[in-house]
Amino acid sequence: MGTTTPFQELQHAAQVRVLAGERVWLEDAALEQLRITARLPHIRAAVGLPDLHPGRGYPVGAAFFSVNHFYPALVGGDIGCGMGLWRTDLRAHAASASKLEKQLGNIDGPLPDALMADAQRQLDGIAVAQLPASREMLAASIGTIGGGNHFAELQVVDEVYDADADIDRKRVHLLVHSGSRGLGGAILREHVERFGHAGLTAGSGDARVYLAQHDAALDFACLNRIWIARRILQAIRAEADLLLDVSHNHVQEAEFGGECGFLHRKGATPSDQGVVMIPGSRGDFSYLVRPVAGRDEALFSLAHGAGRKWSRSDCMGRLAHKYRSDELRRTRFGSTVVCNDKELLYEEAPQAYKDVDSVVAALVDAGLVTLLARLRPILTYKKGGLAACC
DNA sequence: ATGTTC
């Protein structure tokens, strides 16, 4: 006589997979978040990537596939966050971190006037009318890195695994990790105020409005990375070619298990957009990898980085007695960390992140990627660079 | 994540 039938249970049963080898650090809290999120109505499949770690309500390093319905809250606030990689014309053997740091100065604020006019022109392509953000707000934030795990990093090639890889050992590379800044946050805030975490019905007017805003945030985030790179390149007097730009926070229409639906990526790098970069912490390598085509069991997704091992709030307590802040401004590679925010310096310490080798090895072992090259940081810009003198 | 926020 029970009112809950096994059929209901089956209806909501989603396939849950975790792709992590034995070497990968995995927290129970993250697995629990993955299982709970997979139980949301309309979710058909959930995948935890090896960088899986707890987030605010939903896990980071995960992908979710749903049908007839999608969840903006699952994408989170930093819609369009991702990685951009450039090959500069700077010669790797001649690169000096201290010189680059001085040339770079402070790149936290709005773009310098000389670049702003061009950036504003590009912002015309972003349909501001439908966004909870003014054109002035977008202009103020374009070309800025932001906080948290965002960074801009100058790297050199440490090792090449595939002779056919399009990678130049002789050149300095620039990796930019940033997103849509205040814009994505405003879109999510407005959405949650109206709909909470219930999500939206596919094809509804409200769904169309969100997706249009989401797409604008993706465009803005990509432009943001481009302008971060441009201001850096101008400062260090270099030219560069864009090698890749890939977002890891978004929702898109996709087909899985013979059904059309929505693929949410929350800190999950697409495996269907060509070569991607999987960075470790500021004190670890970044891996350039080629996704193996035609593998859908990981929901067309890969790890987006090493993934956190410690929560931000634990870092100061765990590290302050062991390392002074100036010791954290250098890494085991001898690379320089530009960060005048003490809290952030500890929160983003290499010790707070999983070992990127274990994360990438899990992807290789699962047959999801092949390695192309390994890059090593020489300078990581977080925030608070030296103000330009004279 | 955050033109954060206590």
pTM above 0.75, yes or no: yes
Q: Nucleotides on strand B with an atom closer than 7 A to protein CB?
A: 1-4
Residue with tokens 């946050």: A185
Distance in Å from B6's C1' to A165's CA comes to 49
b/e code A184-215 from CB counts within 10 Å (16+ = b): bbbbbebbeeeeeeebbebeeeebebbbebbb
Query: Is A286 within any annotated ligand binding site?
Result: yes
**Strand B: which residues have Cβ below 7 Å from it?**
A 56, 60, 77-78, 81, 133-134, 137, 140-141, 146-150, 178-179, 181-182, 185-186
Separation CA A61–CA A212 (nearest Å): 24
| Average pLDDT over chain A, rounded to an integer | 94
Residues 6+ apart with CB under 8 A from A242: A84, A85, A86, A226, A229
Query: Is A184 within any annotated ligand binding site?
Result: no
pLDDT for res A11: 54
Q: A127 falls in which pLDDT band (50, 70, 90)?
A: confident
Q: Beta strand pairing status for A301-303 and A15-18?
A: unpaired
Q: A390 falls in which pLDDT band (50, 70, 90)?
A: very low
Closest among A317, A390, A308 to A352, alpha carbons compared: A308
Query: Is A177 within any annotated ligand binding site?
Result: yes
Provide DSSP, A287-339: EEEEEPTT--TTTTEEE-SS-BSS-HHHHHHHHTTT--GGGGGB-TT--EEEE
Q: Give residue A310's domain range.
A: 2-388
Distance in Å from B3's C1' to A141's CA comes to 8
**In total, how many domains does chain A have?**
1
Do residues A49 and A301 touch, judged by C-beta distance below 8 A? yes
Least confident of A128-137, A218-227, A350-359, A373-382: A128-137
Nearest nt to the CA of A55 via C1' is: B1
pLDDT for res A219: 96
Distance in Å from B4's C1' to A182's CA comes to 10
Does the structure show a pLDDT above 60 at A367? Answer: yes
Q: Tell me chain A's radius of gyration from C-alpha atoms.
A: 21
Considering A69, A173, A250, A304, which one is annotated as catalytic?
A304
Query: Is A78 within any annotated ligand binding site?
Result: yes
pLDDT in tens, A172-215: 999 999 999 999 999 999 999 999 999 999 999 999 999 999 99
Which CATH number belongs to the domain containing residue A157 in this structure? 3.90.1860.10
> Is A304 a known active-site residue?
yes
Task: Using DSSP, state whether A226 is helix, strand or coil.
Answer: helix
